[in-house]
Amino acid sequence: MRFGSFSEMTGYYAERTPDSPALVFEEGGSVKALSFSAFHGRIRERAEELKSAAVLGAGSGAEGPAGVRCVGVFCTGSLDCVVDILAAARAGFQQVLLDPMASDELLKEQIGLSGADMLLGDEDLAEEFEEFLRPAGQAPDLKAGRILFFTSGTTASARAVALSEASLCCSAYNGGSLLPLDPSDRLLLMLPLNHVFGFVCGLLWPLSCGASAALGRGPRHYADDMAFFRPTAVSLVPLLLGFLLKNGLLNEELRLMLIGAGECPPALIRAVKDKGIRVSFGYGLTETSSGLALSLGDDPYALTVCPDDEIRIASDGEIMVRAPGSMMEGYYRDPEATARAFSDGWLMTGDLGLIGEGGRLWITGRKKDIFVLPDGTKVYLPEYEAKLSEVLAGRDFALFMKDGAVCLAVSGGKSEEDGIAEAVLPLMKTLPRGQQIRRILMTGAIPRTATGKVRRWALAEEVN
C-alpha cells in the first residue's frame, strides 16, 4: 500500500486488521505484541502529549516559525522510542534521529546543527545533552514533518540529510511492492533506527504491508534475538549476517532476508540460500530514503529498479538517480552541498554501475573517495588521509580497503612498520572501531594514475 504519512499507515491497518500485531517486543523475558489498533492509539495519544509539551523530558521550550519544534530522539530501538518517533511526526515536529552510542562530540554537533529544542528516547542522555539544545529565541530553518538522518558514522563533519514522512513511506512502498510481506510475517529489526536502511527496511517495510516488526534488543542480544523472536524475515548488513551464519544463529522459520548497506561477499549469500532462505540484495542511499533497487531473482547482484525510481548511467559509469517520491529535500542547512549532489535534476550517486539485461542494474564500484564498511559505515578518505598526514608527515601513503577492513599503505621498508604503527596509534584511539586501520602495508611507490589519483585496488591486490 502507498501511504503519505506514518499515521495514515498505522491508521489504515488499525481500521482493517485492528487485532493483528504491529510490533512485537520483549517484556519481562517474554515476547509481547502490540496490535495495530493499540499501536495507532498510542501514537495518537503520545502526539497529543508532545503537542501539549506537558511530558517533555528535557527542553528549552524554544519554537521555530509557526510554532514548529525540533525534537531529537535517541534511537534506542525500544517500543517507547518507536512510538515517540511516529508521534513526533504526527505532532508536526521536525525531528532528528540520534545514535545513543555515538560519541559525545558527535552528539553535541548533531543536536546543535539540527536545531533540536527537546530530547526524547533516553532520560539520562536527554539530561546529559540538555545544555546543547537550541536556546529560546533562536529560530533556525524548521519544517513540520521533516526528519533528519545523519549520514552514517564518518570522519567528516556531521551532515544531515533532510527526508520526510512522505519520502520514507514512498521508499517503504517501493520495497513492499517488489518484495511484499504477508500480514503473518514477522520481520526482525536488528539495525539502528537512526540509519535510514534500518528505519525503512526494518520498521516501515513490514508496517506498510500490515506485517509486524519485532524490535530487536540491541547488540547484547545479537546472538539470541533470532531464537527469541522467531522471525520469518530480517533486514541485515553483511557484517551482522556473517556473525549470524558463523555462529549458526538463523532460525528455521526464516524465509526472506534483505541485505543492504554494503558489499556482501558471495559466500555469505550462498550460505543463506543453501538454507532455503530467499535472499534479496538492496541498493539505496540515505539521500533517496533508502531503497532504489532490489534483486528479485536468482542472481543477487542483478537489481530491479524500484517502481518510482529512474536510473541512468553517466558517460563515466556513474549511477544517476531520479526518485521523485523518495528523494531528499537536500542536505540540511547546506545548499552548496545539495547543489553539488545534483546534475540537471539527477542525483549523482558516486557509485559506478551498468544497466544490463531486462533493464537491471549491476553495481560495479565507487567513484567517490569513500569506503563503505561491512556494517554500512562510510569512511571519507580525503579527511581521514588529511588527519594521517599530520602524524605521517613527509611520508607517501594511502588508505585502501581489503576484506572489509581499512588498511594503510606506506612507501617504505618493512623495518619501519612498527614505527608507523606507533605513530598512528593516538589517532586510531579517537576513531570508531570499524574505521581503525587493521593492517599496514609497507610498499614501494604508492601506485597512482596519470592524474595522480591513488590506484587503491592495486594496493588491495598487493595484500594476500
Partner 1 sequence: MNREEILKKTVEVIYECVPEMEGTELSEESVINTDTAIDSMGFTMVICRLEGIFGIKIPDRQWTKLSTLGDVISAIEKQLKKQGRLA
Cell numbers standing for residue 180: 511484499
- Closest alpha carbon to 75 in 202, 238, 241: 202
Calculate the alpha carbon distances from 291 to 205, 206, 362 in Å.
11, 14, 15
* Side-chain half-sphere CA neighbours of 274 within 13 A: 7
Calculate the alpha carbon distances from 386 to 156, 261, 398 in Å.
11, 26, 10
Cα-based torsion angle of the residue sequence 1, 202, 243, 281 in order, rounded to the nearest 10 degrees: 40
Residue with cell 512522505: 166
The CA-CA-CA angle for residues 341, 178, 328, to 5°, reads 20
Using CB under 8 A as the binding rule, whether residue 429 contacts partner 1 is answered as yes
CB of 212 to partner 1, least distance (A): 26
The residue among 265 and 432 lying less far from partner 1, judged by its C-beta, is 432
Q: How remote is the C-alpha of 417 from its chain's centroid? A: 35
Q: Would you tell me how many other CB atoms lie within 10 Å of the CB of residue 85? A: 25
> Where do the DSSP E strands lie in 206-255?
212-215, 233-236
**For partner 1, what does the binding mask look like between residues 334 and 363, x meaning CB under 8 A?**
------------------------------
Q: Would you tell me how many other CB atoms lie within 10 Å of the CB of residue 307? A: 12
CB of 128 to partner 1, least distance (A): 9
Using CB under 8 A as the binding rule, whether residue 72 contacts partner 1 is answered as no
- In angstroms, the CA 271 to CA 8 distance is 39
Please pick, from the candidates 84, 194, 375, 447, the single residue that binds partner 1 as defined by CB under 8 A: 375
CB of 155 to partner 1, least distance (A): 15
Using CB under 8 A as the binding rule, whether residue 425 contacts partner 1 is answered as yes
Please pick, from the candidates 32, 55, 67, 103, the single residue that binds partner 1 as defined by CB under 8 A: 103
CB of 246 to partner 1, least distance (A): 8
- In angstroms, the CA 388 to CA 428 distance is 10
Using CB under 8 A as the binding rule, whether residue 183 contacts partner 1 is answered as no
- As beta bridge partners, residue 354 has 362
The residue among 404 and 412 lying less far from partner 1, judged by its C-beta, is 404
Phi then psi for residue 384, to 5 deg, are -65, -45
Please pick, from the candidates 22, 56, 102, 168, the single residue that binds partner 1 as defined by CB under 8 A: 102
- Helices of type H across 335-428: 335-341, 381-391, 417-428
Please pick, from the candidates 59, 100, 145, 447, the single residue that binds partner 1 as defined by CB under 8 A: 100
Residue with cell 510475517: 185
CB of 132 to partner 1, least distance (A): 16
Stretch that binds partner 1, among 16-24, 39-47, 48-56, 212-220 (CB under 8 A): 212-220
Radius of gyration (C-alpha) of the chain in whole angstroms: 22
Q: How remote is the C-alpha of 40 from its chain's centroid? A: 25
Please pick, from the candidates 61, 219, 365, 413, the single residue that binds partner 1 as defined by CB under 8 A: 219
The residue among 158 and 306 lying less far from partner 1, judged by its C-beta, is 158
Using CB under 8 A as the binding rule, whether residue 437 contacts partner 1 is answered as yes
CB of 85 to partner 1, least distance (A): 19
Calculate the alpha carbon distances from 364 to 9, 246, 317 in Å.
36, 27, 9
Q: What is the DSSP letter of 448?
A: B
Residues 107-126 that bind partner 1 (CB under 8 A): 125
The residue among 55 and 421 lying less far from partner 1, judged by its C-beta, is 421
CB of 180 to partner 1, least distance (A): 31
The residue count for binding partner 1 (CB under 8 A) is 25
Using CB under 8 A as the binding rule, whether residue 402 contacts partner 1 is answered as no
The residue among 243 and 457 lying less far from partner 1, judged by its C-beta, is 243
CB of 322 to partner 1, least distance (A): 35
- As beta bridge partners, residue 70 has 94
**For partner 1, what does the binding mask look like between residues 119 and 158, x meaning CB under 8 A?**
------x---------------------------------
Using CB under 8 A as the binding rule, whether residue 419 contacts partner 1 is answered as no
Using CB under 8 A as the binding rule, whether residue 277 contacts partner 1 is answered as no
Stretch that binds partner 1, among 96-104, 111-119, 164-172, 292-300 (CB under 8 A): 96-104
Stretch that binds partner 1, among 58-66, 87-95, 359-367, 435-443 (CB under 8 A): 435-443
Using CB under 8 A as the binding rule, whether residue 218 contacts partner 1 is answered as yes
Please pick, from the candidates 92, 438, 458, 460, the single residue that binds partner 1 as defined by CB under 8 A: 438
Using CB under 8 A as the binding rule, whether residue 227 contacts partner 1 is answered as no
- In angstroms, the CA 252 to CA 331 distance is 42
- In angstroms, the CA 351 to CA 394 distance is 32
- Closest alpha carbon to 161 in 16, 328, 304: 328
User: Which residues of the shown chain bind partner 1 in the complex (CB under 8 A)?
Assistant: 100-103, 125, 218-220, 222-223, 239-240, 242-243, 375, 405, 425, 428-429, 432-434, 436-438
